[in-house]
Amino acid sequence: MSFVFEDRRAQVSVALVLALLGFLLVVQLRSQGSANGLEELTSQDLTLLVANLNTRNDQLRTEVGDLEGQLIVVDAAAGNGERSAQQLRAEITRDRAWAGLDGAVGQGVTVTLTGPIPASAVQEIVNELRNAGAEALAVDGVRVVNGTVATGDVGALSVDGVSLGNDFSITAIGDKDALAGTLVRPGGVVAFFAARYPDVTVVVTPTERVAVPGTVRTLTPAHGTPHL
């Protein structure tokens, strides 16, 4: 019995050794099969391979640099486009305000008139303010635009259908000192009114901020079209 047991144990040991040798052989064959083949290249081939890799790396770096440069250009163009759009919006807003479509604010003067004043006198003050550089005008809250005139008899004045009465004001945006100086200078409108309309009181008040509303009139031309 002891001999049989020893014989079986020897067989198992031999089988384990054969299995281990087979495993190592498979690993070696797989390792050789997965080799990249660089060991088969000559030194000249390896030098050429390295040179090609360096050349390709240089090409890739150049492409990256070009793409980064294009990105900078695109970003700059986008920024310039946004700034141009902002400038255009600002110009449109400014032009709409000065054309009378929208309200406007700025330094200027307020001319308060009290008493029986004729329509022609109102127009005279408006024209004087325009000639002095007024950028926007309103008569008692009515925006003065092309075609706006004061009409009616003394005591029954109106501007664009809005009644003025005998106590109203004219507001003008512009250089407050220049506007006020034009009206109150010797021989100016205020002096003229004092001589011709003694019952009319004119008070000119320069201020840092006055406001005029936008017009309610339709300013679309009936006959003319823009020429670009």
| DSSP output for 140-196 | TTEE--TT--EES-TT--EETTEE-TTEEEEEEES-HHHHHHHHHSTTSHHHHHHHH
Average pLDDT of 164-169? 88
Amino acid in the structure at residue 57: N
Q: Which residue has the higher pLDDT, 43 or 187?
A: 187
The answer for residues whose C-beta is within 8 angstroms of residue 216's C-beta and 6 or more apart is 143, 160
Distance, CA of 167 to CA of 202 (rounded, Å): 10
Q: What is the pLDDT of residue 50?
A: 64
Alpha-carbon distance of 196 to 117, in angstroms, equals: 10
Compute the distance between CA of residue 165 and CA of residue 145 in angstroms, rounded to an integer.
Answer: 21
Euclidean distance between CA atoms 34 and 27, whole angstroms: 11
Mean pLDDT across 65-91:
75
Q: What is the pLDDT of residue 101?
A: 84
3-class secondary-structure state, position 36: coil
Q: Reply yes or no on whether the pLDDT at 93 is more than 50.
A: yes
Contacts of 154 (CB under 8 A, 6+ apart): 116, 117, 118
- Report pLDDT for 4: 43
pTM of the full predicted structure? Answer: 0.62
